[in-house]
């Protein structure tokens, strides 16, 4: 089944990605992962071969209008509904991808803020240690 191949690809991207030291987190290529997720959604929602054609063809709204202007046979009406559903699914996938990106940005900001706070504490500790060492050295030289 095609979805298993997509899941295998997704798994290999995750397993081959760079690991963040001392965590169970990995850095993945966002575009690749989101692209595979979009394809999985299309397959799961029954888009199958038509969804592939719609994505690779990149049909424009003008092409959709031509289909509507043609003789309205039941086959064409069913196809235009299917095309409209495919476009709707793709738009929904892009909206969801945008939400995921925004969530990832928020998470990255939180991680960086935490790193900044930790670095500031470490820097204060280093400065305090150097000051203490300096005072100890000055007191030793005065005797």
How far apart CA 127 and CA 49 sit, in angstroms, is 64
Position 136 scores a pLDDT of 86
Amino acid 74: pLDDT = 63
Q: What domain count does the chain have? A: 1
Residue 142 falls inside a structural domain: no
The pair of three-digit structure tokens given for residue 10, joined into one six-digit string = 């997704």
Per the domain annotation, does 43 fall within a domain? yes
Q: Is residue 131 domain-resident?
A: no
Q: Do the Cβ atoms of 65 and 87 come closer than 8 Å? A: no
Does a structural domain hold residue 98?
Answer: yes
pTM, to two decimals = 0.37
Name the token pair of 104.
Answer: 């990832």
* In-domain check, residue 128: no
DSSP H helical ranges for 22-73? 30-44, 48-57, 61-69
Does residue 54 lie in a domain region? yes
Residue 29 lies in a domain: yes
Q: Collect the ranges in the chain with pLDDT lower than 50.
A: 51, 58-71
DSSP E strand boundaries for the chain: 18-19, 26-27
Task: Report the pLDDT value the prediction gives residue 131, as an integer from 0 to 100.
Answer: 92
- Asked whether residue 8 is assigned to any structural domain, the reply reads yes
- Predicted local distance difference test score (pLDDT) of residue 130: 94
pLDDT the model gives residue 41 = 83
What is the extent of the structural domain holding 102? 2-107
As to burial, measured by CB atoms within 10 angstroms (0-12 exposed, 13-18 middle, 19+ buried), residue 6 is: buried
Q: Pick from 3, 72, 8: which is nearest to 42 by CA?
A: 3
Predicted local confidence at residue 42, as pLDDT: 81
Task: Determine the pLDDT at residue 72.
Answer: 54
- For residue 32, what pLDDT is reported? 87
Could you give the CA distance from residue 38 to residue 97 in angstroms, rounded to a whole number? 9
Report pLDDT for 119.
94
């Amino acid at each position: 089944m095609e979805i298993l191949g997509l899941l295998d690809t997704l798994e290999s991207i995750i397993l081959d990605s760079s690991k963040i030291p001392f965590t169970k987190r990995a850095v993945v290529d966002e575009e690749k992962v989101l692209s595979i997720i979009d394809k999985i959604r299309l397959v799961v929602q029954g888009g199958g071969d038509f969804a592939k054609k719609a994505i690779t063809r990149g049909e424009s709204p003008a092409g959709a209008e031509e289909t509507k202007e043609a003789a309205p046979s039941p086959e064409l009406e069913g196809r235009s509904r299917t095309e409209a559903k495919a476009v709707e699914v793709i738009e929904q996938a892009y909206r969801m991808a945008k939400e995921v990106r925004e969530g990832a940005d928020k998470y990255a900001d939180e991680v960086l803020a935490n790193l900044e706070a930790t670095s500031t504490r470490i820097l204060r500790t280093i400065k305090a240690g150097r000051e203490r060492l300096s005072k100890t050295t000055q007191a030793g030289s005065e005797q």
